[in-house]
């Protein structure tokens, strides 16, 4: 098979959460353990860092990868979902897994895994683990797919666990309270593996504290460490004054990145305690060039600076959208245009209630089966006081926004990872 044929096979033969949602979710580690045993436990050949959380785990994972690779380590990075190319999920020192490796892995192991009936995520995770072993990485950063306790990635024993924050998302699987969601994500906490918690208060904090005490490990709350003295927005991102790194420039410019930065700095300090060599220069370099070093996209990504300014962001739940809205409020523009689409298994009503009512909306849907119909989205949005027209594709919605926007206006594109994915493809062709 060619690379395209291999991807089509994976998408058509294996349940893909990215496309169909809940029907692709397989709770438990049974399949992962079977595949892991068959491949002789490739993840044991290198160190790992496990990153969970409702929001911010992608940014945190990419920042740590950039810093560690600039420190001289060979770094694997496994994240999901991808935006444009499947290979974004599996990288070594920022380079995507070769197409030939994907083709060969599927062909070589197909006869074993097909009777197992793994999900798309389970198989691609094992592909990543094997690729990292074959690439002889020093350390791999593994992003949790969904939850923690029963997530496929939870077969690893890392040197460090990180939980960024807890917000409402995937409540049909993780529970309908923050305490229940925290309990699921706390499932990655393991004996004698230090865990960094980015944000946690009240019952959520108590869940993490009790879990760490029960399994017997060290827990560090990044907010308690006060590692960031000050943070200020710049034209290129953030400028931080921190306990160990003065005038630290962060390329990622979203408002949520201040919390992520505190989590990353806390993680670096823990890795230094464990004996990792992380020069200050690598920290500065990683923060300043994370997009270039890791291929990160979609985090308050500025597509065009002006005439009009165009920005996209993958925030898609209440926790993520709150930061997006705060940032939109503080931008300067004459009129705000929002190209918006969502998937049908999110808390749509709560997200819509947060969005600015003074904007002009272009309701649309991404090119996946899970996408909420643009007419239904418009009807729901109107009940929340949001007004605009509907468009059957992201490309058409963006074109309409560009046609209507004046030079001093602002176009924001978001609502889901998949809207951003379609937008990046469409805008790359157009711009």
Dump pLDDT digits (tens) for 174-184.
777 999 999 99
Q: Where does 135-170 have alpha helices with state H?
A: none
Dump pLDDT digits (tens) for 292-327.
999 999 999 999 999 999 999 999 889 899 999 999
Question: Closest by alpha carbon to 320, among 213, 419, 215?
Answer: 419
Q: CB-based contacts of 129: which residues, under 8 Å, 6+ apart? A: 36, 39, 42, 43, 78, 140
pLDDT at 23: 47
Dump pLDDT digits (tens) for 180-239.
999 999 999 999 999 999 999 999 999 999 999 999 999 999 999 999 999 999 988 999
Across 4-70, the runs of DSSP E, i.e. the strands, are: 47-52
Asked whether the predicted pLDDT for residue 16 surpasses 70, the reply is: no
Phi, psi for residue 334 in degrees, rounded to 5 = -85, -50
pLDDT at 428: 76
Distance CA 21, CA 174 (A): 14
Q: In the chain, where does the domain assigned CATH 3.90.190.20 lie?
A: 301-430
Dump pLDDT digits (tens) for 119-148.
899 999 999 999 999 999 999 999 999 888
- 202-215 and 178-185 helices, crossing angle to 10°: 30
Other Cβ atoms within 10 Å of 97 Cβ, number: 24
Asked whether the predicted pLDDT for residue 38 surpasses 70, the reply is: yes
- Stated length of the chain: 431
Q: In the chain, where does the domain assigned CATH 3.40.1190.10 lie?
A: 3-294
Per-residue DSSP letter, 371? B
Structure tokens at 235: 């034209």
Cα 415 to chain centroid distance, Å, stands at: 14
CB 390 within 8 A of CB 377: yes
Distance CA 209, CA 212 (A): 5
CB 71 within 8 A of CB 62: no
Q: CB-based contacts of 210: which residues, under 8 Å, 6+ apart? A: none
How far is the CA of 354 from the CAs of 56, 114, 310, 312, in angstroms? 19, 44, 20, 17
Q: What is the pTM of this model?
A: 0.93
Averaged pLDDT, 50-63: 96
Asked whether the predicted pLDDT for residue 356 surpasses 70, the reply is: yes
What is the radius of gyration, based on Cα positions, of the chain?
21
pLDDT at 13: 80
Distance CA 13, CA 110 (A): 11
Averaged pLDDT, 322-337: 95
Per-residue DSSP letter, 392? S
Q: CB-based contacts of 191: which residues, under 8 Å, 6+ apart? A: 215, 216, 217
- Average confidence score pLDDT of the chain: 93
Q: What percent of the chain has pLDDT over 70?
A: 95
Distance CA 236, CA 410 (A): 17
Helices and strands in the chain: count of H runs, count of E runs: 18, 17
Asked whether the predicted pLDDT for residue 169 surpasses 70, the reply is: no
CB 47 within 8 A of CB 138: yes
Dump pLDDT digits (tens) for 80-114.
999 999 999 999 999 999 999 999 999 999 999 99
Asked whether the predicted pLDDT for residue 340 surpasses 70, the reply is: yes
Structure tokens at 150: 């029963």
Asked whether the predicted pLDDT for residue 21 surpasses 90, the reply is: no
pLDDT at 345: 77
CB 212 within 8 A of CB 187: no
HEC profile of 189-211: CCCCCCEEECCCCHHHHHHHHHH
Greatest Cα pair distance in the chain: 59
Which fold, 301-430?
3.90.190
pLDDT at 402: 97
CATH architecture of 3-294: 3-Layer(aba) Sandwich (3.40)
pLDDT at 301: 95
């Amino acid at each position: 098979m060619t690379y395209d044929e291999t991807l089509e096979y994976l998408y058509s033969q294996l349940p893909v959460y990215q496309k169909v949602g809940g029907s692709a979710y397989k709770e438990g580690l049974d399949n992962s353990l079977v595949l892991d045993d068959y491949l002789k436990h490739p993840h044991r050949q290198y160190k790992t860092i496990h990153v969970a959380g409702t929001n911010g785990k992608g940014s945190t994972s990419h920042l740590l990868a950039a810093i560690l690779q600039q420190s001289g380590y060979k770094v694997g990075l496994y994240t999901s979902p991808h935006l444009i190319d499947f290979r974004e999920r599996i990288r070594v020192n920022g380079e995507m897994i070769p197409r030939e490796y994907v083709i060969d892995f599927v062909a070589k192991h197909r006869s074993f895994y097909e009777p197992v009936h793994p999900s798309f995520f389970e198989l691609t995770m094992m592909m990543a683990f094997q690729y990292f072993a074959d690439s002889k990485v020093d350390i791999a950063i593994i992003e949790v797919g969904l939850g923690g306790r029963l997530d496929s990635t939870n077969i690893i024993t890392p040197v460090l666990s990180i939980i960024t924050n807890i917000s409402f998302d995937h409540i049909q699987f993780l529970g309908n309270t923050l305490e229940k969601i925290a309990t699921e994500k706390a499932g990655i906490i393991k004996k004698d593996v230090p865990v960094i918690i980015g944000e946690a208060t009240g019952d959520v904090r108590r869940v993490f504290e009790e879990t760490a005490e029960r399994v017997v490990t060290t827990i560090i709350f990044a907010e308690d460490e006060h590692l960031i003295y000050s943070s200020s927005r710049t034209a290129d991102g953030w400028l931080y004054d921190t306990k160990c790194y003065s005038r630290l420039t962060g390329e990622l410019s979203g408002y949520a990145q201040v919390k992520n930065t505190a989590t990353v700095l806390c993680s670096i300090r823990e890795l230094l305690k464990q004996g990792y060599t992380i020069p200050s220069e690598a920290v500065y370099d990683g923060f300043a060039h994370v997009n270039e070093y890791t291929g990160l996209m979609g985090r308050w990504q500025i597509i065009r600076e002006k005439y009009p300014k165009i920005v996209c962001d993958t925030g898609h739940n209440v926790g993520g959208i709150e930061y997006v809205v705060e940032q939109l409020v503080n931008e300067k523009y004459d009129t705000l245009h929002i190209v918006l689409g969502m998937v049908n298994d999110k808390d749509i009503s709560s997200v819509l209630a947060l969005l600015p009512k003074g904007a002009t909306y272009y309701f649309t849907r991404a090119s996946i089966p899970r996408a909420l119909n643009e007419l239904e989205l418009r009807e729901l949005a109107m009940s929340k006081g949001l007004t605009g027209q509907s468009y059957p594709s992201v490309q058409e919605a963006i074109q309409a926004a560009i046609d209507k926007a004046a030079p001093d206006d602002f176009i924001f594109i978001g609502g889901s990872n998949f809207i951003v994915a379609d937008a990046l493809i469409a805008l790359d062709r157009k711009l």
